[in-house]
Structure 1
Amino acid sequence: MSDNAAQTEFWNTVAGLTWAEHQAQLDRQLRPLGAAGMQVLSPQPGEAVLDIGCGCGDTSFALAGAVGETGSVLGLDISEPMLAVARSRAADSPAAPVFTLADAQTADLGEARFDAAFSRFGVMFFNDPTAAFANIRRMLKPGGRITFVCWRPATENPWMSVPFQAALPLLPPQPERDPLAPGPFAFANPDRVRGILSDAGFSAITITPFDTLIGSGGLDETLALTGRVGPLAAVLRENPDLAGPVQHVVREALSAYLTAEGVMMPAAVWVVSAANA
């Protein structure tokens, strides 16, 4: 079984530190998408739930509120910087989730332990996704269920594609990206997702599109976040001298989406659910 060494390094250095720093802004942006997945999962009081790729803990706290004092939530992530934020938030909550540093692809948390598993954008980074989901299924009770939210193609997500496309004429030539490599859009193809889950032993697989508008703040806040998170940020880290010229054209592109509630842009995801029948 392959491990996730590259992803572990990535999420414990630049990416993890950045997400921890901008936790409140990113949670605001992603919360409506996680809520759509949570509605499908429908966690019940008393259930034990595994939150995969819990990051800074936003979804774990929401799940804990749903399962109540008689239930339990284990938040799992490979990023120590993000888990540090989650644990600091848990210190102020009497019914907080438990947070564990581990990789869901290889972690041994016990067989048939959880009633349900959930993830908000935490399952697209496995080096061996079939093995990962087989391991997750092993941790679910018979009849247990999983629901996760993953991105549809970048072309359907202007919040990510618009800034990058606006800046592209100013950037050095960009290499072709492997659509199957671990990353935000690795599960953009629903047929691939269905095949992975089926090969991992899941049944009753449903994949439903969900669209909404998301935002992380006003124009200045959104512009700043665009320079720190996403594909454009990755290029700018390698080419910091381009930050000034790029900022000008990206600001102009984002201005088209400015509303009374801040910059609000279309987001497109799959809400995926399956059962351990």
Structure 2
Amino acid sequence: MTIEQKPSFNDHEIKDWNGQRAMLWVKYADRLDTMFSTIADTLLRTANISGGEKVLDLGCGNGSTTLLAASQVGPNGSVTGVDVSEPMIGLAQARCANAGITNVNYILGDAAEYPFDSGSFNVLISRFGSMFFGNPEVAFQNIIPALTFGARVVLIVWRSPQENLWATKPVEAAKEFIEMPLAPGPEDPGPFSFADTERVKKILKVAGFSGIDFTPLDLLLPLGNTLEDAVNYVMEMGPLSAPLATVKGDKREMAITAITNSLRDNQGEDGIVRLAGACWIVTCGVS
């Protein structure tokens, strides 16, 4: 079942996640699941979900973490995934139907404003789905009443761009030849907006969460099974996609060469290109 909500004050992010960005996340869904598999396993292990619990998957995207949670709650539990992206919710629904899973619901809407039923969920999880709110303070104040007393919360978010070479190294290699758009500010909606632990702690504390803690997670993320595969991926998916699309001729070729040479340093003996990823595992509760 999918419940639809009218657009909200996060209009820019909603538009972004229903355009080209969303289509790329759908196209590369299986690759992203592989790339983030260790992170998903860590999310579910930390949440320690039991049979019969009711779980909210915040920013569920293509639904992979929703389905993992569904396997843990069993037939007497349920999982609700919420996301603003219609293409990604569509894929999540299809995956759910193909797997014959019946204990999952999806909400197409903005969790910052969605009228959740009070005390609906024992657990809140999110893998990279909590950093895109235009006003995160308001968002989490809206979400917390949907959680039961004693509910557990696990959010996995990116740390700083400097620690996440999967995102920054290809850009550093190519920026001599292409014009990159201005990066979002550290508190603007975006993948790295929850890198600052003090900011996140304040957001969650103001909303009413307690026991807020941060655990670092460092890993190597596989970008491609071959060097060519990795180069093609970073050219189409991520911050280089739009700038490269506007560059032609020699400059484009020089940018591709620079990206290739940069990623070659990270190719293992098995041919796979892996770059550093750095996350925070954010845990808290409702008490």
Which TM-score applies when normalising by structure 1? 0.95
Aligned 1:230-241 pairs, distance under 5 A: 230-239=238-247
Q: 1:174 to 1:101 in 2, by over 3 A?
A: closer
Q: 1:246 aligns with which of 248, 255, 273?
A: 255
Q: 1:272 aligns with which of 265, 279, 282?
A: 282
Report deviation, 1:230.
Answer: 1.8
Asked if residue 100 in structure 1 is aligned to residue 110 in structure 2, the reply is: no
Q: 2:72 aligns with which of 66, 71, 78?
A: 66
- Alpha-carbon distance in structure 2 between the residues aligned to 1:64 and 1:174: 39
Q: 2:211 aligns with which of 204, 213, 217?
A: 204
Report deviation, 1:37.
Answer: 2.1
Asked if residue 30 in structure 1 is aligned to residue 40 in structure 2, the reply is: no
Report deviation, 1:183.
Answer: 0.3
Q: Who is 1:222 aligned against?
A: 230
Q: Who is 1:9 aligned against?
A: 15
Report deviation, 1:235.
Answer: 2.5
8 Å contact 1:32–1:214 — kept in the other structure?
no
| TM-superposition CA deviations, 1:225-258 (whole Å, max 9, x none) | 2112222224224546654332211111111111
| TM-superposition CA deviations, 1:142-187 (whole Å, max 9, x none) | 1112111000001001111110101111122653531110000001
Unaligned 5+ segments in structure 1 are none
Asked if residue 124 in structure 1 is aligned to residue 131 in structure 2, the reply is: yes
Report deviation, 1:196.
Answer: 0.5
Asked if residue 47 in structure 1 is aligned to residue 53 in structure 2, the reply is: yes
1:99 is matched by which residue type in structure 2? Y
% identical aligned pairs: 33
- Alpha-carbon distance in structure 2 between the residues aligned to 1:117 and 1:240: 45
- Alpha-carbon distance in structure 2 between the residues aligned to 1:223 and 1:27: 18
Q: 1:180 to 1:239 in 2, by over 3 A?
A: farther
Q: Who is 2:148 aligned against?
A: 141
Q: 1:199 to 1:172 in 2, by over 3 A?
A: same
Q: Who is 2:91 aligned against?
A: 85
2:235 is matched by which residue type in structure 1? G
Unaligned 5+ segments in structure 2 are 1-7
- Alpha-carbon distance in structure 2 between the residues aligned to 1:8 and 1:239: 27
How many residue pairs align between the two structures? Answer: 276
- Alpha-carbon distance in structure 2 between the residues aligned to 1:216 and 1:124: 22
Asked if residue 158 in structure 1 is aligned to residue 165 in structure 2, the reply is: yes
Q: 1:145 to 1:223 in 2, by over 3 A?
A: same
Q: Who is 2:273 aligned against?
A: 263
8 Å contact 2:223–2:275 — kept in the other structure?
no
- 3-state SS of 2:262 partner: helix
- 3-state SS of 1:54 partner: coil
Q: More displaced, 10-19 or 84-93?
A: 84-93
- Alpha-carbon distance in structure 2 between the residues aligned to 1:244 and 1:110: 54
